[in-house]
Amino acid sequence: MPLRTRKNNRRQAAVMADVAKSAGVSHQTVSRVLHDSPHVRHETRERVLAAIRELRYRPSLVAQALVTGRSNTLGVVTFDTALYGPASTLLGVEKAAHEAGYGISVVSMSSLDPTSIRVAVDRLRGQGVDGIVVIGPQKSSLDSLQHLELDIPYVAAACGPDSQAQVVAIDQAGGAACATRHLLDLGHKTVWHLGGTERSMEATRRIEGWLATLEAAGAPVPPLLRGDWSANSGYELGRQLLETPGVTAVFVANDQMALGLLRRFHEAGVLVPRDISVVGFDDVPEAAFFIPPLTTVRQDFHQVGRRCLELLVGEIKGAPPVDVVKAPIPTEMVLRASTARPSR
């Protein structure tokens, strides 16, 4: 059956009525096939699907939303996607959403203060999203979430266990403890730590894991050094470590700062791991190609995405809330060539 054409002779997109006429069925039958209803005979379903393929019919999301009350679109509010962690979490959420049949609308913020998050959420609600994922690794995002009164489901990723929202969190403290314990088990008397920014909850959890492990081992606790997650800050903090006698092991809060630290040590003629052992955090794709290849802590961001989607879709469909904070996603130590027993 030829499709209607516009005055400019371009082929006009097929509508549901065209599919129904071509397949010789009712409008309601086409709708049942599109929604995978079991109340359609196999022969009829195949005839409708053949007509859909022939006419290249694409269901209208707007029309479906009017009928079902759902847009099959999820919103994501995120911050600082230039950093590996938030960017990888966003990628994990997007992949899981697409696998589940949902589209994604992303609002990336320069700040996660209450006003900015409210503006982002209102923008997504205006687009008719069915639910929202907030990727908020900063303490300000946690405070903002606790004051939101949303009328649609939402889930927080990487916000930490203090949030009142449903949260999907990676075991940051556990990963930091493994990194610190690895260095102590090699025979280092203590472990220095280059931490992330003060406003970051992930940095806070990693500091807690480092500190608790040193205290449990009865090891001296060196002064905490803080960077800003960048390779440059790791490079600058390396100068302080080089000026401090007795440093043999360093746990760095992310791989980017570890890269800067390795560069500073190389320029000073300090050999890693012969003179100083270094452990990073994240396992960025380039970590295996650092000189030397970096021992680090791997985070499963795709699992974060899957769990976020499971929680959010469950809540959209009316499932009771699930407390997953008590079982955070574990990390994994990746052993490479940047750690060794301390030299005599």
Mind listing the pLDDT tens digit for each residue in 70-81?
A: 678 999 998 777
pLDDT given for residue 325 in this prediction:
47
Residue 161 DSSP label: T
Whether 210 and 164 share a structural domain: no
CATH number at residue 26: 1.10.260.40
Determine contact, residues 164/150, Cβ cutoff 8 Å: no
Q: Are strands 154-157 and 166-168 parallel, antiparallel or unpaired?
A: parallel
Whether 45 and 126 share a structural domain: no
Fill in the amino acid letter for 102.
Y
Asked if the structure places residue 330 within a domain, the reply is no
Query: In which domain, by residue range, is 159 found?
Result: 72-170+301-316
Whether 97 and 239 share a structural domain: no
pLDDT in tens, 253-295: 999 999 999 999 999 999 999 999 999 999 999 999 999 999 9
Whether 109 and 254 share a structural domain: no
The token duo for 206 is: 């990693």
Residue whose token pair is 């639910």:
131
Whether 231 and 291 share a structural domain: yes
- Helix ranges (DSSP H) in 100-190: 114-126, 139-146, 172-185
Asked if the structure places residue 111 within a domain, the reply is yes
**Per-residue model confidence as pLDDT tens for the chain (344 residues):** 445 444 444 557 788 888 889 999 998 898 788 766 788 899 999 999 998 888 888 765 545 554 555 678 999 998 777 788 888 889 999 998 888 888 899 998 877 777 788 888 888 988 889 999 988 766 666 566 666 667 788 888 865 555 556 788 899 999 999 999 999 999 999 999 999 999 888 999 999 999 999 999 999 999 999 999 999 999 999 999 999 999 999 999 999 999 999 999 999 999 999 999 999 999 999 999 999 999 999 999 889 888 988 889 888 888 766 554 457 899 999 999 999 999 86
Residue 170 DSSP label: B
Three-class HEC string of 7-76: CCCCECCCCHHHHHHHHCCCHHHHHHHHCCCCCCCHHHHHHHHHHHHHHCCCCCHHHHHHHHCCCCEEEE
Tell me how many domains the chain contains: 3
pLDDT given for residue 1 in this prediction:
47
In 209-308, which ranges are E strands? 225-226, 249-252, 277-279, 296-298
Axis crossing angle, helix 27-34 with helix 16-23, rounded to the nearest 10: 110
Asked if the structure places residue 137 within a domain, the reply is yes
Distance CA 203, CA 137 (A): 9
- How many CB atoms are closer than 10 A to CB 152? 17
Q: Nearest-CA neighbor of 157 among 176, 138, 174?
A: 138
Whether 161 and 181 share a structural domain: no
Q: How many CA atoms lie within 13 A of 78 on its CB side?
A: 24
Whether 161 and 176 share a structural domain: no
**Neighbour-count burial for 69-79, b at 16+ CB within 10 Å, e otherwise:** ebbbbbbbbbb
Residues 6+ apart with CB under 8 A from 24: 47
Cis peptide before 86 (omega within 30 of 0): no
Whether 150 and 182 share a structural domain: no
Distance of CA 125 to the CA centre of its chain: 21
Asked if the structure places residue 1 within a domain, the reply is no
Whether 206 and 306 share a structural domain: no
Asked if the structure places residue 152 within a domain, the reply is yes
Distance CA 102, CA 96 (A): 9
